[in-house]
Structure 1
Amino acid sequence: MVVLEVSGYQAFVEAVENHKGKTIFAYFTGSKDKNGVSWCQDCVQAEPIVRAELDKMPEGAIFIYCQAGARPEWKNVTNKFRTELKLTGVPTLMKYGTTQKLVEGQLFSPELVQMLFAED
């Protein structure tokens, strides 16, 4: 399993390009401050749940942890995460290139996270 941590839309696109042809799971979160705490309370609550289930990912899968920006940046309707990836909220966990995703409170359920990682 490969875990990549990136910040911003361009870094995310580059990470995806570098792993073309592989199964990619992307986790989008509000950016963290200098103390490592996100402005997004749902993100703070969901992160340990998602990380605890990473061992359920298929063999050879890539996990991209992406900080999607500070709150004003995220709330901007022209934010590329919103316009290009059609994200509606953070946190979001998606199987890249598919319609499969979990958003906000759905990520508080280890069972739902496991199902997303396990689905073909």
Structure 2
Amino acid sequence: MSRSPSRRPLPTSSSKRIPVRRQRRADPLRRLARHTVALELSARLGVNVLVLSVAAVSLGRLVPYLQTQVQQLEIARTELAEAEAANTRLRADFDRYFDPAQAGRVIQEQTGYRSRSERQVVWTD
């Protein structure tokens, strides 16, 4: 029997081969490479959520502190306005008491002293 290159023997039931797929061992680096994007994304998301929660807690603590500071500032401004008004009044009194032109009038107001040249006038009907 001569075989021609174009003819192949027909497979028989005993010579029938089933291709066996060999399973490669999964390389841990390849498996990790498949999940790297997901791991990186979840890590970034976790860090951002942590930063956001820290910022929210910090703001929650700072808002009441800010409100008390604003109230204390308003109280200080009110007291400052009162002190400035008192200072203005005291400065006017100081200028009046130590003004030589008004010294005689101040003495007369406080002691009732009158100079000898003044005469008291009493009006009668």
- The reply to whether TM is greater than 0.5 is no
Greater percentage in strand: 1
More contact order relative to length (CA 8 Å, sep ≥ 6): 1
